Structure 1
Amino acid sequence: MNTYEMSISRLQAAKEHLAGGVASSLRASMKPTPLYAESAKGAHIRDVDGNEYIDYLLAYGPLILGHAHDGLTENVIQAMRNGYTFGLQHDGEIKLANLLAEVLPCAEKVALSGSGTEAVMLALRLSRAFTGKTKIVRFHGHYHGWSDSIFTSFPSSDMSQKASTGEAAKIPPGTFGQSENSLEDIIILPWNDPKALEETLRKHCHEIAAVITEPVMCNSGCIQPLPGYLEQMRKLTEELHIVMIMDEVITGFRLSLGGAHGRFGILPDLVIIGKAMGGGIAISAVAGKAEIMKLVDDGKVSHLGTLNGNCVSTAAAIATITQLSANNGAVYNQMEELFVELAEGIRLLLGKHRIPGIVNQIGPVFHMMFTDALEVNDFDTFNKRDSAKYTHFAELMLEEGVLLRPNGLWYISTAHQKSDIEATLHAIDRALIHL
């Protein structure tokens, strides 16, 4: 049986001076305790108590090449030897911008930043400046970072706030301490509801600057868009002079080299990318139409950030994208094949143990949930899942040597092998006995 005494001890020590004992509130939800890592390589991670795990958490998504990837590490070290950051321009910025314009179908120009939250803030600012309007349409169950201007309540096993259902006079903030006034420009809609989308956009088009959407609801069940839904969104926003923003912080460089918009063949006005882009090094970007990005060129929209486009982050992104691009992106087929095998294996095991559950999978990402529903295709149904049961399952899986995110979202990396999938399915088989 695994012991977690060293992790528990370190958490108590951390709480003396580190608020919450963790550097991100999201990590506090892990049971039986937030783990402390000692080392990691490839698809495997080791904690300070000596427990080893096959890792499907992958740092909440960025580690698409796995842990401590040799090529990425070498490129980052070489960049650091030349200087971490200059406060001046360097060739890495040019090379990365050119690379992004090459691989992202919608990217005519890009702006580099440090996190997904920062990139969302820039995309919203660009949209308002470009249209001269202020309102932003977003959707229940989508996550666009934690800035006050966009962070609405988001129910899951690792975020404590409760969401309202349907439209409300006052949109509930995502956290205590957040000004409710900051959300006055937000219109929140159910996703995958074509009628609600069209009625709202037509009624309020004179004040809506942008529609921001995740192309797939990865955090909330990996719910895919209904056939024609994103196409409808694209058509309406073009007709009504509203900026369409795809938040691809999760799906960018994960669903394909061109992200979800490349996979689906939809060209938004702006796309936000992060997480997998840097392979574990912090970097994000906004990419899109030159006529919108020109607002940064002209100085009409300020784009600030001391470490934007620093040498280390640009080197990491270039190395990651280069690795993913090799052999015409062959690693995407490899990851997807392994995850299809794992998802199908989990479904069979749920049937074997007579436990109601669903695995929603698209490409190299899926969401596993315990539910009596026959399918989960909307946010309301997703919210009826047994999240407590899944949290317990994730804890059982730690005992079996598999690290999972407590909310049900699984990631895979290019480092995972067929042997990892087989070992994981054996571990799930043993864990399900105890549910």
Structure 2
Amino acid sequence: MKIETHANSEELLNRAKKVLAGGVSSEFRKYSYPHALFYSHGKGSRIYDVDGNEYLDFTLSQGPLILGHSHPEVLKAVHEYSEKGQLFAGQHIQEIELAEKLNRLIPSAEMMRFCLDGSEAVHTAFRLARAKTEKQKFLRFEGHYHGWLDNVCWGISAPSLDALGERESPTVSPWSNGLPAQSGEESIVLPWNDLELVQKTVANHHQEIAAIITEPIMCNNGCILPEEGFLQGLRDICDKYNITLIFDEVITGFRVGLGGAQQYYGVTPDLSIFAKAMGSGYPISAIVGKSAWMSLIEEGKVIHAGTMNSCNPTVAAALATIEVLEREKAHERIYRLGRKLMMGLQQAAEESGHSLLVQGLGPMLHTGFSPLEKVKDYRDTFSYDKKLLSSFVAGMHQRGIRIIGRGLWYISAVHTESDIDFAIQNARELLKEIK
């Protein structure tokens, strides 16, 4: 599957740049190798570009395609339910069925509302937390991604480790121009996995903190697992100080398991955000939570609205996705293949003398070249050799294997043993070539 040309993609990108800012409709798509590519179709674990190139796909559209591309049961469900109508500006039966299923599967999902994407659902959670606690600020963590809107667009990244400042009082940088300065004052940002520092900070500022929000696994930078006791420690702090605990499960939801990371780790937040894998690529998210919080929406004290929310195609896609995952016990397979890939990549690196750090649970994993034995927070990610990673990602791409540029891999329920073997073998050959 050696890639020979991207000429058609390049031509289309030049055409797109005349009408689309940067030639794309989402910033991250600009950073594909060798440039933003155009795709024609996807099937199972494969995706095909307009030059006819075939790729074994571990990006899965940044995570949502847990059943792979174009799963027939999902497409059939969307088609059949869409024929009854696209959008009613009213309720429909599958919306109840999906909500009942989430209520059964997710520990925190006593009640819920459906939205279109994670960013929107996060802001609904903040609104609920402020209304419930009658406090204003939220505490979050360096390198965690909770969407691209103003008040969470701080502390996502930094140009260097020095730019982050001291651990106890980090220097928080804006991720984008055009942010109102006051939006940065809505949050307190700390390094992740440092429970002692969180305890100290909250003790001094609890009277103004409405919520602590975290990715339960730091998927967006390094696929970093929580230290033992960290999530439970956050739960205990929130209970002590009347603070809302929010899990952003946009990535971990339905990928770590049917009940999300909260079920996997046995820590139940007050509110959670689910999206991505829930809908197999269709635009749906959910804010789920305990009744004491969600009742504020029910009573009309907190407003949540959206014309396109819970439209027929997206709900049908989510319902079909979860039904397939349940019926096929897909997570057993996803974990097994993911862990095989992790071990194979690690062994291939050792054989070639590379310090390749492979982290994650298996359903998602991260590869980065680092002398560290473990990366525990965003600050540790500055140990990664980004130039070497770029060479690795580009080399895998040229061999017909598509992974996310920052080193993140996703496994689907339709990847096979031979897919994993193929990826490991090509990684082994490539690692012997690059320096």
TM-score (normalised: structure 1):
0.96
Q: Distance in 1 between matches of 2:281 and 2:346?
A: 30
Q: Distance in 2 between matches of 1:169 and 1:412?
A: 34
The alpha-carbon deviation at position 261 of structure 1 amounts to 0.2
- Unmatched tracts of structure 2, length 5 or more: none
Q: Distance in 2 between matches of 1:258 and 1:410?
A: 21
One of 33, 51, 54 as aligned partner of 1:52: 54
Query: What is aligned with 2:33?
Result: 31
The alpha-carbon deviation at position 434 of structure 1 amounts to 2.9
Q: In structure 1, the residue corresponding to 2:156 is in which secondary structure?
A: coil
Contact 1:216 1:225 (C-alpha < 8 Å) held by counterparts = yes
What amino acid is aligned across from residue 132 of structure 1 in structure 2? E
Q: Distance in 2 between matches of 1:243 and 1:303?
A: 18
Query: What is aligned with 1:319?
Result: 320
User: What does 1:16-415 correspond to in 2, within 5 Å?
Assistant: 16-155=18-157, 164-165=164-165, 166=167, 168=169, 171-327=172-328, 330-415=329-414
Residues 264/234 of structure 1: CA separation in 2 closer, same or farther (3 Å cut): same
1:6-33 Cα deviation digits (max 9, x unpaired): 1111111000001110110011111211
1:96-125 Cα deviation digits (max 9, x unpaired): 111110110111000100000001010011
The alpha-carbon deviation at position 169 of structure 1 amounts to 7.7
1:301-330 Cα deviation digits (max 9, x unpaired): 110111011111111111111111115xx2
- Unmatched tracts of structure 1, length 5 or more: none
What amino acid is aligned across from residue 65 of structure 2 in structure 1? L
Q: Distance in 1 between matches of 2:242 and 2:290?
A: 14
Residues 154/293 of structure 1: CA separation in 2 closer, same or farther (3 Å cut): same
What amino acid is aligned across from residue 220 of structure 1 in structure 2? N
Contact 1:154 1:163 (C-alpha < 8 Å) held by counterparts = no
The alpha-carbon deviation at position 136 of structure 1 amounts to 0.3
What amino acid is aligned across from residue 63 of structure 2 in structure 1? G
1:214-262 Cα deviation digits (max 9, x unpaired): 1011111111111111111101101111000000000000001100001
Residues 426/7 of structure 1: CA separation in 2 closer, same or farther (3 Å cut): same
What amino acid is aligned across from residue 223 of structure 1 in structure 2? I
1:383-402 Cα deviation digits (max 9, x unpaired): 22012221221111111110
Q: Distance in 2 between matches of 1:188 and 1:86?
A: 41
Q: In structure 1, the residue corresponding to 2:129 is in which secondary structure?
A: helix
Q: Distance in 2 between matches of 1:316 and 1:163?
A: 43
The aligned length equals 431
TM-score (normalised: structure 2):
0.96
Contact 1:215 1:247 (C-alpha < 8 Å) held by counterparts = yes
* More moved, 296-305 vs 166-175: 166-175
The alpha-carbon deviation at position 424 of structure 1 amounts to 0.9
Q: Distance in 1 between matches of 2:162 and 2:40?
A: 34
Q: Distance in 1 between matches of 2:20 and 2:161?
A: 22
Q: Distance in 1 between matches of 2:162 and 2:221?
A: 14
Q: In structure 2, the residue corresponding to 1:205 is in which secondary structure?
A: helix
Q: In structure 2, the residue corresponding to 1:383 is in which secondary structure?
A: helix
Contact 2:191 2:379 (C-alpha < 8 Å) held by counterparts = no
Residues 243/353 of structure 1: CA separation in 2 closer, same or farther (3 Å cut): same
What amino acid is aligned across from residue 55 of structure 1 in structure 2? D
The alpha-carbon deviation at position 361 of structure 1 amounts to 2.1
Q: Distance in 2 between matches of 1:193 and 1:375?
A: 15
Over the residues paired in the alignment, what is the CA RMSD in angstroms? 1.7
